[in-house]
Amino acid sequence: MSSFSSTIAVHGGRSCDPVHGSLVTPIVQSTTYVQDQVGINKGHAYSRVSNPTVTELERRLGAIENAAPAVCFGTGLAAETALFLATLRAGDHVVCGDAIYGGTVRLVRQLLSELGISGTFVDTSDPANVARAITPRTRLVFIETPANPTLKLTDIAAVARITNNAGVLLAVDNTFLTPVLQRPLDLGADITVYSTTKHIEGHSTAIGGSVVSRDEQLVERVRFIRKCTGSIQAAFQAFLTGRGLSTLPLRLERHSQNAQRIAEWLASNPLVSAVNYPGLSTHPQHDLALRQHAKVGERVLHGGILSFEVVGGAQAGARVLNNARLCSLVEHLGSVETLLTHPVSMTHADVPREQRLAVGITDGLIRVSVGIEDADDIIEDLDRAITLAHNEEGAADLEADVCASADGRASCLANV
C-alpha cells in the first residue's frame, strides 16, 4: 500500500517567496506584521497566531497526507494537548492504547483527569478491546502503532470501523512511521498527530509537533486552541523541520533497510533472547505489518525502530548500553544517528513495574532507533557491546564507565 510520492515531500504545499523570489521560504523572524489599513493585512497579524515560515510548513505537512494544512506546535506534547482540548470537555471520556508514549499517558492521567476528562487504557492490538471500552461519554480514541518500545501493532482500519460506527473520533500518533510508511487518514482515522521532533525533522536539532486532519472544522478548532494557549512553533524550528521533511522518504527508506538487517542479525545472535521488529516473520503481527505499512519499490518497509533483549536480563542489558560507542545512549528517536534507550530507566521510569511488565517492557529491554549510518558499522558496534557485556572484562569496563560518566548522564536525564 503506498500512495506517497517523494516529489510531494520536496514540492507539495511549497510556494516561492513572492518578495525576493528565494527558492526556500525565508525564516520570518518577526513578532508582528505591518497592517495595510485598519483591519487589512497580508495574512498575518501576530506570530502567536500565525507566521509565514510556520504556515508554509503547515501546508507541506497537510499536502503529504492529502489533508488540510496542518497545525504546528512548539512540541509534540503541545500538539496532543491542543488535540485533547479541541475534542474533549469536562464529563467526556477518551480511550487510549495501553502502550502509547509515556508523556501522553501522563497528560491524560495527571492533567486531563483534573479537568474532569476520564481516560481508559486498553490493549488496542485487539480492536475488540476498543469496542468494549467505548461508553456514551467517549468522544475520542487515541492509538499509537507500532507501540513504543514493544513494537506491538494496532490494526488502524479495524479500529476506524469501530469508531466510525460509534460516532467517535479516531486519532493516531503516527510519529514512528510518519505518513511515508503509514497512512492512517487513508485507513479511516480522523486525525494524525506527530512529534515532528523525531523522524520528520530527523536531525536532532528542532522540537515540534503537528496535528493533521481532512476535517477542516476540526482543524480550525485545533488552531483556535493553539491561539488561546499560545503553543505555536517558532519560525526557526519550523524552517529546520521543513528542511528535514524534504529528505524524509529518503531517510526512512535507509532507516528501514538498516533496521531490517540489524533485526535479522540480532535474531540470529545466540546472546540475544528476543527481538521485536514488525519486519521479522517471527513478529506475531507480521501479516498486519505487511498490509498496513507502505511498500517502496518491491519491499514493504517497517521503519527504523526495534527493541531487543540480551541473555542475562537487566544487568547484561545495562552493560550493552554502556559499552556501545557508535550508538549513543539518549532519550530520543528518529534521527540520522543510531540511538539507544533503556526504557525502564529512561522513557518509562515513571510507569509502575507491574504495568510495564504487563505490556512487555521487561527490565533488560533495549530500544534501538536505527540511524542512516552503514549497517555494517552499527552491527559491529552492537556486536562488540553485546560480546563485552557477556564476559567479565565487560563487567569491569562497566564499573569504570559508570563512575566516569555518571555525573554527566545524570544531569542530562534530569532535564527530560
Ligand X SMILES: *Cc1c(COP(=O)(O)O)cnc(C)c1O
* Phi, psi of 158, rounded to the nearest 5 degrees: -65, -40
- Which entry of 14, 60, 101, 381 is annotated as an active-site residue? 101
The string of DSSP letters for 338-360 reads -EEE-TTTTTTTTS-HHHHHHTT
Give the CA distances from residue 245 to residues 50, 219, 294, 307, 392, in Å, rounded to whole numbers and listed in that order.
20, 21, 17, 25, 45
CB of 75 to ligand X, least distance (A): 3
Of 193-201, 280-288, 314-322, 338-346, which part binds ligand X (CB under 6 A)? 193-201
Q: Is the CB of 322 or the CB of 369 nearer to ligand X?
A: 369
Q: Are 3 and 186 in contact (CB under 8 A)?
A: yes
Decide if residue 210 touches ligand X (CB under 6 A).
Answer: no
By C-alpha distance, which of 339, 343, 340, 338 is closest to 314? 343
Decide if residue 198 touches ligand X (CB under 6 A).
Answer: yes
Cell of 144: 499509537
- Whose cell is 540489524? That residue is 262
Q: Is the CB of 101 or the CB of 308 nearer to ligand X?
A: 101
Decide if residue 192 touches ligand X (CB under 6 A).
Answer: no
Residues 46-85 contacting ligand X, CB under 6 A? 75-77
Of 13-21, 154-162, 178-186, 195-203, which part binds ligand X (CB under 6 A)? 195-203
CB of 144 to ligand X, least distance (A): 6
Number of C-beta neighbours around residue 198 at 10 A: 24
What's the half-sphere exposure (Cβ side, CA atoms, 13 Å) at 53? 23
Using DSSP's 3-state secondary structure scheme, residue 196 falls into coil
- Which entry of 92, 173, 190, 381 is annotated as an active-site residue? 173
54-67: b (≥16 Cβ within 10 Å) or e: bbbbbbbbbbbbbb
Four-CA torsion 403, 408, 411, 415, nearest 10 degrees: -130
CB of 247 to ligand X, least distance (A): 19
Decide if residue 335 touches ligand X (CB under 6 A).
Answer: no
Decide if residue 154 touches ligand X (CB under 6 A).
Answer: no
Decide if residue 195 touches ligand X (CB under 6 A).
Answer: yes
198 classed as catalytic: yes
Q: Is the CB of 334 or the CB of 394 nearer to ligand X?
A: 334
Q: Is the CB of 78 or the CB of 263 nearer to ligand X?
A: 78
Decide if residue 197 touches ligand X (CB under 6 A).
Answer: yes
Count of residues near ligand X by CB under 6 A: 14
In angstroms, the CA 327 to CA 384 distance is 11
Sequence-ordered alpha helix ranges (H) in 2-46 = 6-11
Decide if residue 223 touches ligand X (CB under 6 A).
Answer: no
CB of 146 to ligand X, least distance (A): 10
In angstroms, the CA 79 to CA 225 distance is 10
CB of 89 to ligand X, least distance (A): 23
- For residue 268, the one-letter residue type is S
Decide if residue 209 touches ligand X (CB under 6 A).
Answer: yes
Out of 58, 144, 190, 309, point to the residue binding ligand X (CB under 6 A): 144
Decide if residue 142 touches ligand X (CB under 6 A).
Answer: no
Out of 55, 120, 175, 192, point to the residue binding ligand X (CB under 6 A): 175
101 classed as catalytic: yes
- Whose cell is 509515556? That residue is 102
Q: Is the CB of 99 or the CB of 388 nearer to ligand X?
A: 99
Please report, as ranges, the residues that interact with ligand X according to CB under 6 A.
Answer: 75-77, 101, 103, 144, 148, 173, 175, 195, 197-198, 207, 209
- Catalytic machinery residues: 48, 101, 173, 198
